[in-house]
Structure 1
Amino acid sequence: MTPQDGNKRDSIEDNPNSLHDIHIAKRGPKNIPKMVVPLSNAPEHQAKDPGHPYAQAKHMKFDFFDQRISNAPFGYEHFVSLPPSYEQDLDKRWPLILFLHGAGESQRGKNESFASIRHGIPKVVLCYDKLKSNPNSSEDPSIEIPLAPRLRKSKQTGQGDRSTQPVPRETCELVAENFITVTPSLNMDNGYGWDAAVLSALLDEIVERYRVDADRIHITGFSMGGYGTWDLALHSPKRFATLSPICGGGDRLRAVHIKHVPHWVFHGDQDDIIPVKASIQMVEALEKADAREVKFKRYPDLKHDSWTPTYNEPELYRWMLSHKREVSGDEEVVPKENKIVLGEENA
């Protein structure tokens, strides 16, 4: 590989899920004001208009919110889906999937959050809504959401964009009817890479806002979100029931700290953006630490997009539903004294 080739590989415009995902040039100001803010005292949380038509759902709740509580000067806008029967059984607590997208699905500025729901869990949820709108159709549902404008001439399009590939009906129903789902949308105005502390504060807020089963919180993500999955788990290792990182990587020297959390890892052997070695090293480190359960699916013929077949697979969600958190703790990861209400003046 020539130096010029290397520069292209790492170019965020040529390869939106490039190794810039890993070299995290983030996060924003470090001088964060501190004040005690009980979540119950924060302003009532209201859904907002995402500024585009791609998140509309008729048969279930699929809403867009600002993060209100953080430990940094910024938070993540996020989509939340609720199962159709959420309001019918007021005593039930629900499993939750936190989904972390890749760098190419990040927004830059306002009203680009549609890029965050083109793939993965939110795509499955929106396909479920389309399925319910066309119950007599014999075809599996699909959706069509454009790339963010800055990427429409990028190499991602040339390499094949599979965001419109249909999702099996069984998968749609398993996800939408059995889980609360949360999809943060990373805005690159706040830097590249997922911030585990800000994500933890968001989860604190979500658990307070909805009837979440704290023993059944699952994380998954691809590319930058695959790294984010392992990073968040290492940040709060007693919070999660399962981890499903796709074409990502992590800190193998600290893998021992999450050996108790069941893993299902996915990667394409031909990945030329994040080499499969990144997942192999984490899997080997977990196995060396006598991890409780580590499954590793490698796709021999796939390049970077190993997430489309993975998120289409119903067995992934049956596996999630079969697991509960084994080691309790981390019920509220970010101390109250480190939290601020975003959008308000802080003394």
Structure 2
Amino acid sequence: MKKIIPFLICCLTLFSAFAQDISKYKKENFVFANDTLKYRILYPENFDATKKYPVVFFLHGSGERGNDNEKQLTHGGKLFLTDEFRKNYPAIVIFPQCAENSYWSNVEIEEVSGKRFFTFQKSGEPTKSMALLLKLTDQFVNQSFVDKNKVYVGGLSMGGMGTFEILRRKPHLFAAAFAICGGDNPTNAKKYKNVPLWIFHGGLDDVVNPQLSYNVYRELKKLGHEPKYTIYLKANHNSWDSTFAEPNLIPWLFSKQQ
């Protein structure tokens, strides 16, 4: 018991510190017609509206859907709160939250014997959450303090799929993108073949088959554009842990501009 109590105190302290840091992401609502997209936004330290800043949109996975405007920060929220990031990459970071009954990507999911099979659409209308995100993106990047040459997007799992989705719908907006354990219909790749892209996946992923990422990578290579491609051979679905620890991810992302 003497050993457990200090451990619990340490855990509570760390949780409290993280909660305080997360509070730096301001809660916002984007309302269009009768629909609302909740999102959290992190402004750079000493934000000056007369200057121009890069913008990063980060798309969460299916487990963080809802309307609490908090869960979407579970994975990735810490990445942009480090002293190194805040000091070296002053940027605006936006975490939208997908509604519980929606999805970022226009995809059909079938589960057979405990395995999921994804059928990605080649066209069609965006989901409600993606449609709202597209509207938010249009509105936000036109702010005077946004550097339109440095707009980025990334995401994991459902958000990795959403990253490919928003790239094909707005291929000329993003200076670079990264997709973690996602997937897309390879025939869509031609729509974003010119966007610098880094694709990540876990080799042992039993939720989203790593073949889905590889299919996109292979198609882009056929089109003459070879994105960065990293497979963590021993990682399962949570390959985002390895991705967030990738020392070159942020420098690579912010080195790109239109």
| Fold match (TM-score > 0.5) | yes
Mapping of residues 71-86 of structure 1, within 5 Å: 73-86=34-47
Secondary structure at 1:67 match in 2: strand
Within 1, Cα distance between the matches of 2:21 and 2:239?
A: 27
1:102 aligns to what?
A: 61
Within 1, Cα distance between the matches of 2:140 and 2:169?
A: 18
Answering whether residue 152 of structure 2 is matched by residue 218 of structure 1, we say yes
2:177 aligns to what?
A: 243
Higher gyration radius (CA) = 1
**1:323-347 Cα shifts (integer Å, max 9, x gaps):** 112xxxxxxxxxxxxxxxxxxxxxx
Q: 2:73 aligns with which of 99, 102, 117?
A: 117
Shift of 1:187: 2.0
Within 2, Cα distance between the matches of 1:320 and 1:304?
A: 23
1:193 aligns to what?
A: 104
Q: Which has the higher contact order (CA 8 A, sep 6+)?
A: 1
Within 2, Cα distance between the matches of 1:198 and 1:290?
A: 32
2:119 aligns to what?
A: none
Shift of 1:173: 4.5
Q: Which runs of no fewer than 5 residues in structure 2 stay unpaired?
A: 1-16, 106-126
Q: Which runs of no fewer than 5 residues in structure 1 stay unpaired?
A: 1-52, 129-168, 326-347
TM-score relative to the length of structure 2: 0.77
**1:231-285 Cα shifts (integer Å, max 9, x gaps):** 0010111111111000000121121111110011000010000011000000001
**1:20-72 Cα shifts (integer Å, max 9, x gaps):** xxxxxxxxxxxxxxxxxxxxxxxxxxxxxxxxx976449x952010103x3x6
1:313 aligns to what?
A: 246
Answering whether residue 23 of structure 2 is matched by residue 64 of structure 1, we say no
Q: Percent identity?
A: 31
Paired residues, number: 219
Q: 2:195 aligns with which of 261, 266, 272?
A: 261
TM-score relative to the length of structure 1: 0.59
Within 2, Cα distance between the matches of 1:64 and 1:304?
A: 28
1:178 aligns to what?
A: 90
**Contact 1:170–1:314 (Cα < 8 Å) also in 2:** no
**1:258-314 Cα shifts (integer Å, max 9, x gaps):** 1110011000010000011000000001110112x5100110100001111212323
Greater share of residues in strand: 2
Answering whether residue 168 of structure 2 is matched by residue 234 of structure 1, we say yes
- What is the RMSD of the two structures over their aligned residues, measured on CA atoms? 2.3
- Which amino acid in the other structure matches residue 63 of structure 1? K
Pair 54,250 (structure 1): closer, same or farther in 2 beyond 3 Å: same
Shift of 1:193: 3.4
Shift of 1:171: 5.0
